[in-house]
């Protein structure tokens, strides 16, 4: 059995050699200024030359290949699986299904008991695309052909797979760590009644999919009594922990690595079925097994952003001061597991209002289980609230920025907690200056370029800036180099590079002498690359480890051959902080052109200005923000999962049918940031992986209104919707094609 | 994915003979559609006969001025050809509106005519589809059909033909050259695609075992002032929600000659002959253009979610003919 040949990232050997071999006297309190300096990705060359191996590419001797078979009915039971004919096909090694698959421990889940992990455990089919069998064969082609030949019979039951706001099954979910309680401050009805200007509208967002470039993939094998897996995920340690629990293994006997990950956006944040199935198969066959999901399978097995239907009511005095903000968000989850999209998060921190009311309701449908997707809650919630604020500005005859600025809260509107920092106004000012907002004519339908009507719009953005406990270790080598070990993940963001810069400054060493090893569960607990919390959480642990190492090094004259290692665990530091309302903020601007005769909408330019704390690597930070804004453009104009009522399946479960923005859709996008000092996390980092998408859809929808005079309250702003609405002035105005 | 045989033909008779060796054989051109369908299990041929090496990769002007385009000419080469650009600019624009640069470098003219619908039910083998499995039903009628046909569909199938190139070819009276075991033959594009009726799985009038060897565009002076416009759900790399190829010859405000064809409205590229008749000899005004579009679209039977295609096509006709009229006046 050969070892995997995944390359690791290492500092240039010349730099290490030049550093000498005997004594090193690092001064970990000194910074070397790496943070804040643009740095290309350390693994960039490996990636662009194809040398970086992803989970589905790592070669193994004796590798067997699993191909997943998924359900074709939306609700029911498996009546029979005819495995015998398939087992006789060339190369087929086994067919795993609910009657013969290894048993899993129930009740396991990173965020509470998660029944989506209980694959091949019973005959229940909860939605189209649920795993019903894994066919394993000598080659990928044999596995695939056999999987396609496998006959599965079902006893189908009537299904209910279509979400709508008026669904009778709506209920209020129980508050938990992941479900915010409904909030009530003041008397919304009374304040609305006393308001000079009122907006009361409904907004909808469709089901959206992460659509990471790299499909979910895993290889698993048993090696010297240890279960080893190479997996595509956002947090190797948490995945290894859940894997151990599910298979009733000692945690120390499971190792998960995820050296390179090709995008995730939340879909790889928790353990996913491809890894469980690979582990089942390697356990049964005692040889390495790889399982890679197809694109179509990704549409049913790795989560989605669920659709939302949101009613927003705003009431204000004639000068724009908010009296009432009422936000009711409805969404869905599956019958398997309750995931609740927290669309009211935006309204809970954004504006001061005398009365503030939020409600969340959810209905369980016979559909795949939704999940966190880039800026969960924030992205759909900001579309509704920031669209409504634009409508309020129009009704009040106010500039949209002035309206927002007037309603800046002193403290968290719901929590009452002080903000750790809040530099939203600075984002407005800088954004307005760079975008040229101050010269804007507020009237709609007033600009034209040939067949295109032109308009501009803006929206505010926010995202929570959290920190979670993590551990890290740093070893000072006898050669003068440092090796950092932390179970962080680089999902394409540049995390490995950013952590190298952070460690270099913490150690007072040039980045060339610092090697950061990540994505290995053996490195100990670390938060996942998610929630915009990864870099901030990891940075704190690395900084603490560097300080501890400095103390150790101060006591020795010479570093022994095995090096000197220091560890840090930030659990107590993180939990010992005073509670704060800690968020990143931003201002989004967009200019669009609309041809109402064809329904085409094109974004001409976008600008986002953000307050995201300390920026570690301006190069990759900009990429993250521009990437988020691009995803927001895609959310505004393109992305929409379309459920087929009759079958309960998705009618467009591939990237030909599920459109994400193409290069031609993406115009000049500029992203920048303002000074945002904040030491709530001592690294000063707030995280910026998600805020780029927040508010973009509203900014674009507001710009489409400015161009055409028509409000589009349903995403995406499809050409048929634009064409049908034309330039109709609301309340029965004439259509003027 | 089923294992399949692969043979490479070096001349046309050999290609036709090779195909005849296996009833489940298919010709392979650029493979940009067929290979995808094989991966998803929609197609499972036993044998692929690769025709990319055939000497059919030329574009030539015939003695009568017609343009003869070989079946294995790639989309990229077709779009870039100077004669095509000069004499049939709408064809260049149509080809460039389709797919991506990489796909256009692979895709061939013959294959383009034979590409299959992108109806999601056709592409999902877990779903019924009369085109894929005759008699199994058409879920699109009551299901997802926002980009399906409004003209000449049947209760058996409401899918559209996806080609952009075909729309321009339809406007310019293309004739398809074929080769069968009996030798060469010709088939006008207007007769190439069969009506949907109750046999949506039978898409064209090619005799069994026939190979498309080329497409001929008759000389048509009107085509020199022609345009193609495609409206789709993103700016690139998507199939049309509605498209139009138009050529217009106007003199003193009167339409002397006009060609109009629509894409994404029917199971075939839709030549708008009613609209052409309504326009020819009449005034080149926006009102006349709209009336002509209405004459063509009077037969439209939209479903619940694709009714927008009627005003879309109407608006495209008016906008494009107006543009062409203004150009002629300059």
Cβ-Cβ contacts under 8 Å, A128 against chain B: 126
Residue B14 contacts A where some CB pair is shorter than 8 Å: no
Which residue out of A99, A208, A690, A730 is catalytically annotated? A690
**Cβ contact (<8 Å) for B308 and A720?**
yes
| Number of neighbours of residue A493 by Cβ within 10 angstroms | 24
* Mutation target among B144, B146, B303 for the A interface, most CBs of A within 10 A: B144
CA distance A647 to chain B (A): 8
Contacts of B315 in chain A (CB under 8 A): 597-598, 723, 737
**A90 min Cα distance to partner chain B (Å):** 12
The Cα A304–Cα A341 span in angstroms is 10
CA A537 to chain centre: 16
Please compute, for residue B76, the number of CA atoms within 13 A of its CA located in the half-sphere on the CB side: 9
Question: Taking 70 as the threshold, does the pLDDT of residue A729 lie above it?
Answer: no
**Cβ-nearest to B139 among A296, A646, A718:** A646
pLDDT of A727: 62
Q: Coil, strand or helix: which one is B80?
A: helix
pLDDT-derived band of residue B330, with 50, 70 and 90 as boundaries? confident
pLDDT digits 0-9 by tens, A685-726: 999 999 999 999 999 999 999 999 999 999 999 999 999 997
Q: Does B293 touch chain A if contact means CB atoms closer than 8 Å?
A: no
% chain B with pLDDT above 70: 100
pLDDT in tens, B107-146: 999 999 999 999 999 999 999 999 999 999 999 999 999 9
At A247-284, the pLDDT tens digits run 999 999 999 999 999 999 999 999 999 999 999 999 99
CA distance A40 to chain B (A): 28
B143/A contact by beta carbon, under 8 A = yes
CB A310 within 8 A of CB A330: yes
Q: Hey, how many other C-beta atoms are within 10 angstroms of the C-beta on A575?
A: 9
Q: Which residues contact A686 (CB under 8 A, 6 or more apart)?
A: A465, A532, A536, A582, A583, A584, A611, A612, A613, A614, A676, A678
Mean per-residue pLDDT, B276-302: 98
Q: Give the H/E segment covering residue A462.
A: strand A452-464
Domains and CATH numbers, chain B: 5-50 (3.30.43.10), 222-329 (3.30.390.50)
CA B218/CA B67 separation, integer angstroms = 6
Contacts of A597 in chain B (CB under 8 A): 315-316, 318-319
Q: According to the model, what pLDDT value does residue A130 have?
A: 98
- For B312, the closest of A72, A128, A723 (CB atoms) is A723
CA distance B66 to chain A (A): 34
A657 vs B143: CB contact, 8 Å cut-off? no
A130 CA: distance to closest CA in chain B (Å): 13
Which pLDDT belongs to residue A32? 65
Q: Which residues of A touch B40 (CB under 8 A)?
A: 296
Query: What pLDDT shows up at residue B231?
Result: 98
Tokens linked to A601: 């909408």
Residue A70, pLDDT score: 98
User: Are residues A597 and B127, on separate chains, in Cβ contact within 8 Å?
Assistant: no
Of B162, B156, B163, residue with least CA distance to B131: B156
Interface test with B, best of A593, A604, A657, A724 (most B CBs within 10 A): A657
- Report chain B residues whose CB lies below 8 A from the CB of A642: 144
Chain-centre distance of CA A346, in angstroms? 16
Confidence of residue A735 (pLDDT cuts 50, 70, 90): very low
- A30 falls in which pLDDT band (50, 70, 90)? very low
Q: With an 8 Å Cβ cutoff, are A720 and B241 in contact?
A: yes
B-chain residues within 8 Å CB-CB of A141?
A: 1, 3
B137 shares contact with chain A (CB less than 8 Å): no
- Contact of B76 with chain A, judged by CB distance below 8 Å, is answered with no
**Shortest Cα distance, chain B CAs vs residue A127, angstroms:** 14
pLDDT interval class at A330 (50, 70, 90)? very high
Model confidence at B36: pLDDT above 80: yes
Kindly provide the residue ranges of all beta strands, DSSP E only, lying in A122-166, ordered along the sequence.
Answer: 124-125, 131-137, 151-156
| Residues A91 and A142 sit within 8 Å (Cβ to Cβ) | yes
The per-residue pLDDT for range A114-169, each reduced to its tens digit, is: 999 999 999 999 999 999 999 999 999 999 999 999 999 999 999 999 999 999 99
- Tell me which residue of A357, A310, A316 sits closest to A199, measured CA to CA: A316
Give the number of beta-carbon pairs within 8 Å between A and B. Answer: 98
CB contact under 8 A, A597 and B126: no
Q: Is B319 on the interface with A (CB under 8 A)?
A: yes
Query: Distance, in angstroms, between A664 CA and closest chain B CA?
Result: 5
| CB atoms near residue A319 (< 10 Å) | 12
Q: How far is CA A43 from the centre of its chain?
A: 22
Please check the confidence at residue A737 and state whether its pLDDT lies above 70. Answer: no
| Helical axes A618-637 vs A696-708, angle rounded to 10° | 50
The model's confidence at residue B168, banded by pLDDT at 50, 70 and 90, is very high
**pLDDT > 70? residue A580:** yes
**Which residues does chain A have within 8 Å of residue B319's beta carbon, measured at their own beta carbons?**
451, 597-598
At residue A555, does pLDDT exceed 90?
yes
A658, pLDDT greater than 90? yes
pLDDT band at A491 (very low <50, low <70, confident <90, very high): very high
pLDDT score, position A726: 77
Q: Do A649 and B144 touch (CB under 8 A)?
A: no
B179 pLDDT above the threshold of 60:
yes
Residues from A contacting B (CB-CB < 8 Å) are 72, 128, 141, 144-145, 148, 296, 451, 597-600, 602, 637-638, 642, 644-647, 649, 651-654, 656-657, 659, 661-665, 718-720, 723-724, 737
Confidence of residue A24 (pLDDT cuts 50, 70, 90): very low
Angle at A185 between CA A179 and CA A190, to 5 degrees: 130
Instruction: Determine, for residues B231 and A719 on separate chains, whether the beta-carbon distance falls below 8 Å.
Output: yes
Cβ separation A723–B127 shorter than 8 A: no
The beta-carbon contacts of B322-329 under 8 Å, at least 24 apart in sequence, are: B322/B286, B322/B289, B323/B227, B324/B225, B324/B226, B324/B227, B324/B246, B324/B247, B324/B248, B324/B250, B325/B248, B325/B250, B325/B284, B327/B225, B328/B225, B328/B248, B328/B249, B328/B250, B329/B250
Residue of B nearest to A722 (CA): B308
Which residue in B123, B233, B236 is closest to A664 by CB distance?
B236
Is residue A26 predicted with pLDDT exceeding 60?
no
Domains of chain A by range and CATH?
13-54+467-575 (3.30.365.10), 64-158+213-263+268-301 (3.90.1170.50), 183-208+305-465+582-725 (3.30.365.10)
Nearest beta carbon to residue B144 from set A602, A644, A718:
A644
pLDDT band at A11 (very low <50, low <70, confident <90, very high): very low
Query: What is the pLDDT, as a whole number, of residue A728?
Result: 53
> What pLDDT does residue B328 have?
85
**Which among A719, A722, A727, A728 is the top mutation candidate for probing chain B, defined by the most B β-carbons within 10 Å of its own β-carbon?**
A719
Q: Which residue of A has its CA nearest to B307?
A: A720
Does B126 contact A72 at a Cβ distance shorter than 8 Å?
yes
Closest Cα in chain A to B146: A720
Contacts of B124 in chain A (CB under 8 A): 296, 649, 653
The reply to whether residue B118 touches residue A657, judged by beta carbons under 8 angstroms, is yes
pLDDT at residue A29 greater than cutoff 80: no
| A665 neighbourhood in chain B, CB within 8 Å | 234-236
- Percent of chain B predicted with pLDDT > 90: 97
Mean pLDDT, residues A166-175 taken together: 98
Q: Does B50 touch chain A (CB under 8 A)?
A: no
* Whether B328 contacts B248, CB under 8 Å: yes
**Mean pLDDT score across all residues of chain A:** 94
Please give the average per-residue pLDDT across A406-413, as a whole number.
98
From chain B, pick out residues whose CB is under 8 angstroms from the CB of A602: 235
Tell me whether residue A690 is one of the annotated catalytic residues: yes
Comparing CB atoms, the residue among A644, A665, A723 nearest residue B311 is A723
**Do B308 and A723 make contact, defined as CB atoms within 8 angstroms?**
yes
Task: Provide the residue count of chain B.
Answer: 330
Which of A145, A148, A662 faces B236 most closely, judged by CB atoms? A662
């Amino acid at each position: 059995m050969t070892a995997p040949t995944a390359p690791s990232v290492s500092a240039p050997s010349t730099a290490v050699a030049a550093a000498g071999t005997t004594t090193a006297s690092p001064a970990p309190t000194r910074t070397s200024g790496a943070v804040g300096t643009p740095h290309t990705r350390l693994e960039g060359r490996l990636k662009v030359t194809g040398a970086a191996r992803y989970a589905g590419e790592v070669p193994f001797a004796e590798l067997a290949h699993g191909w997943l078979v998924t359900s074709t009915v939306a609700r029911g039971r498996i009546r029979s699986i005819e495995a015998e004919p398939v087992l006789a096909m060339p190369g087929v090694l086994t067919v795993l299904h609910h009657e013969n698959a290894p048993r899993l421990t129930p009740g396991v889940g990173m965020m509470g008991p998660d029944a989506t992990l209980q694959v091949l455990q019973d005959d229940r089919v909860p939605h189209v695309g649920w795993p019903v069998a894994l066919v394993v064969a000598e080659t990928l082609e044999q596995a695939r052909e056999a999987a396609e030949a496998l006959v599965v019979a079902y006893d189908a039951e009537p299904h209910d797979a279509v979400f709508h706001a008026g669904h009778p099954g709506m209920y209020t979910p129980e508050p938990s760590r992941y479900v915010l309680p409904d909030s009530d401050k003041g008397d919304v009805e009374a304040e609305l009644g006393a308001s000079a200007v009122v907006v009361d509208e409904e907004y909808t967002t469709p089901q959206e999919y992460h659509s990471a470039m790299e499909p979910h993939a895993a290889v698993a094998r048993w090696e010297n009594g240890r279960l080893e897996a190479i997996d595509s995920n956002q947090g190797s340690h948490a995945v290894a922990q859940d894997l151990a629990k599910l298979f009733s293994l000692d945690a120390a006997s499971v190792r998960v690595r995820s050296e390179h990950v090709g995008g995730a956006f939340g879909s790889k944040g928790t353990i996913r079925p491809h890894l469980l199935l690979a582990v089942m198969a390697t356990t049964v066959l005692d040889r390495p097994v790889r399982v890679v999901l197809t694109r179509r399978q990704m549409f049913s097995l790795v989560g989605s952003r669920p659709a939302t239907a949101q009613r927003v009511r705003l009431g204000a005095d004639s000068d724009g001061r908010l009296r009432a903000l009422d936000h009711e968000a409805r969404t869905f989850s599956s019958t398997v597991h309750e995931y609740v999209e927290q669309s009211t998060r935006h309204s809970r921190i954004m504006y001061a209002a005398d009365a503030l009311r939020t409600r969340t309701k959810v209905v369980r449908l016979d559909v795949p289980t939704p999940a966190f997707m880039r800026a969960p809650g924030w992205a759909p919630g900001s579309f509704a609230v920031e669209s409504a604020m634009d409508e309020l500005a129009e009704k009040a005859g106010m500039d949209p920025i002035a309206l927002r600025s007037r309603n800046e809260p002193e403290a968290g509107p719901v929590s009452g907690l002080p903000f750790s920092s809040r530099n939203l106004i600075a984002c407005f000012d800088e954004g307005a200056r760079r975008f040229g907002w101050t010269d804007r004519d507020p009237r709609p339908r007033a600009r034209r370029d040939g067949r295109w009507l032109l308009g501009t719009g803006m929206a505010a953005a926010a995202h929570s800036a959290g920190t979670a406990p993590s551990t890290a270790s740093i070893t000072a080598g006898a050669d003068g180099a440092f090796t950092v070990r932390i179970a962080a993940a680089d999902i394409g963001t540049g995390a490995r590079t950013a952590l190298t810069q952070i460690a270099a400054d913490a150690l007072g060493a040039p980045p060339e002498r610092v090697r950061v090893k990540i994505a290995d569960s053996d490195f100990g607990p670390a938060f996942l690359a998610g929630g915009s919390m990864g870099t901030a959480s990891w940075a704190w642990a690395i900084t603490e480890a560097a300080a501890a190492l400095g103390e150790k090094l101060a006591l020795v004259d010479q570093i022994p051959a095995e090096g000197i290692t220091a560890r840090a665990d930030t659990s107590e530091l993180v939990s010992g902080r005073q509670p704060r309302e800690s968020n990143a903020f931003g201002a989004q601007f967009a200019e669009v052109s609309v041809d109402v005769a064809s329904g085409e909408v094109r974004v001409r330019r976008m600008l986002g200005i953000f307050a995201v704390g300390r920026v570690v690597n301006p190069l990759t930070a900009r990429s993250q923000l521009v990437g988020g804004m691009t995803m927001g453009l895609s959310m505004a104009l393109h992305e929409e999962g379309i459920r087929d009522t009759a079958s309960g399946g998705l009618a467009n479960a591939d990237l030909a049918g599920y459109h994400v923005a193409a290069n031609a859709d993406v115009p000049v996008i500029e992203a920048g940031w303002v000074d945002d000092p904040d030491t709530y996390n001592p690294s000063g980092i707030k995280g910026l992986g998600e805020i780029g998408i927040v508010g973009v859809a509203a900014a674009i929808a507001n710009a489409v209104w400015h161009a055409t005079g028509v409000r589009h309250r349903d995403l995406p702003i499809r050409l048929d919707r634009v064409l049908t609405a034309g330039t109709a002035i609301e309340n029965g105005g004439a259509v003027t094609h | 994915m089923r294992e399949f045989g692969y043979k490479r033909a070096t001349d046309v008779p050999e290609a036709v003979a090779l195909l005849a060796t296996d009833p489940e054989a298919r010709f392979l051109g650029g493979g940009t559609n067929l290979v995808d369908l094989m991966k998803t299990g929609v197609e499972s041929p036993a044998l692929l006969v690769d025709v990319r090496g055939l000497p059919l990769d030329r574009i030539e002007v015939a003695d009568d001025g017609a343009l003869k385009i070989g079946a294995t000419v790639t989309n990229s080469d077709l779009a870039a050809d100077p004669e095509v650009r000069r004499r049939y600019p709408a064809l260049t624009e149509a080809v460039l509106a389709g797919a991506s640069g990489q796909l256009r470098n692979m895709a061939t003219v013959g294959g383009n005519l034979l590409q299959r619908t992108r109806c999601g039910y056709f592409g999902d083998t877990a779903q019924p589809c009369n085109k894929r499995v005759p008699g199994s039903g058409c879920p699109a009628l009551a299901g997802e059909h926002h980009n399906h046909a409004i003209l000449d569909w049947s209760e058996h199938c409401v899918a559209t033909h996806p080609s952009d190139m075909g729309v321009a070819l339809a406007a310019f009276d293309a004739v398809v050259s074929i080769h069968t075991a009996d030798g060469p033959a010709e088939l006008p594009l207007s007769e190439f695609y069969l009506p949907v009726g109750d046999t949506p799985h039978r898409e064209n009038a090619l005799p069994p075992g026939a190979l498309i060897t080329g497409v001929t565009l008759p000389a048509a002076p009107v085509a020199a002032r022609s345009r193609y416009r495609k409206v789709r759900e993103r700016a690139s790399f998507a199939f049309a929600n509605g498209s139009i190829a138009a050529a217009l010859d106007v003199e003193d405000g009167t339409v002397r000659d006009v060609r109009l064809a629509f894409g994404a409205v029917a199971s075939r590229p839709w030549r708008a002959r009613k609209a052409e008749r309504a326009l020819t000899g009449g005034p080149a005004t926006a009102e006349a253009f709209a009336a002509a579009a209405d004459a063509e679209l009077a037969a439209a039977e939209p479903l619940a979610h694709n009714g927008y295609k009627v005003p879309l096509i109407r608006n495209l006709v008016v906008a494009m003919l107006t543009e062409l009229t203004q150009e002629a006046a300059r």
